[in-house]
Amino acid sequence: MTTPSVLFVCVHNAGRSQMAAAFLTHLAGDRVEVRSAGSAPADTVNPAVVEALAEVGIDIAAEVPKILTTEAVRASDVVITMGCGDTCPVFPGKRYLDWQLPDPAGRGVDAVRPIRDEIERRVRALIAEIAPTI
């Protein structure tokens, strides 16, 4: 059995995709290979996102936004986009999902918490589907 791989993509790789990757890594451990990237990466991860995840015991303070590459898409079984439009390359045989979520950019931690909680819910459902425990 091979390890499934998931790529989370948003525009800046500073909010939604960082939260989703952090939750998937935290909850699935080595059962899933996790990547995240942005079509136009920011310089840093959104501080309100870092704070919101720290509140639930996940530390992403050292994470850095990454540029979306064709190689990252090719290497992933599931590609989940979050508001990046048509910038993500499409390859046959990949599963593509689009999670419509508010962008946490420019918002405080109070506004980020509900986005964080919805991402966690969706990540838990994804794990149950692609990497259930035996």
- Catalytic residue numbers read 10, 84, 88
Distance CA 78, CA 66 (A): 18
Helices 47-54 + 109-130 axis angle, to 10:
60
* Token digits of residue 102: 């508010």
Instruction: Find out whether 7 and 77 touch, Cβ atoms under 8 Å.
Output: no
Distance CA 60, CA 71 (A): 24
